[in-house]
Amino acid sequence: MSKNKVTSEQVESIMQASEFEVFHRVFDKQCLVVAKLPNGFTVVGESACVDPDNYVEEIGEKLAKERIKNRIWELEGYSLQNFYHNAHTAFTDAMEREFDGPKR
């Protein structure tokens, strides 16, 4: 994890280390892709067309995986924000204890 940002290399690394299951032609026009991330968390991506005659497996899978990648960006951003929030809270709590002195 970069010091203060999520990087494309980080997201790509997670994508590369993930396992994927692909389900084509759900209801004849939808593709579902489930990614199991390296930590075991699962993310679902999907794509669909209006007319089943227009369904192309490669395009459906690519779009669904792109949605998974976007979700990983969100999850990694959340994780980074949470890390900084927890670090700030711990620091603030420690400073309050330091300046308040011992409780009687």
pLDDT per position as a tens digit, 25-61: 999 999 999 999 999 999 999 999 999 999 999 999 9
pTM of the model: 0.82
How much is the pLDDT for 87? 79
| Residue 102 Cα distances to 80, 88, 89, 92, 99, angstroms | 33, 22, 20, 16, 9
53 or 87, greater pLDDT: 53
How much is the pLDDT for 56? 97
Spell out the CATH class of 8-99. alpha beta
> Looking at residues 52-81, what average pLDDT do you find?
97
User: Is 31 within 8 Å of 47 (Cβ atoms)?
Assistant: yes
Domain boundaries, the chain: 8-99
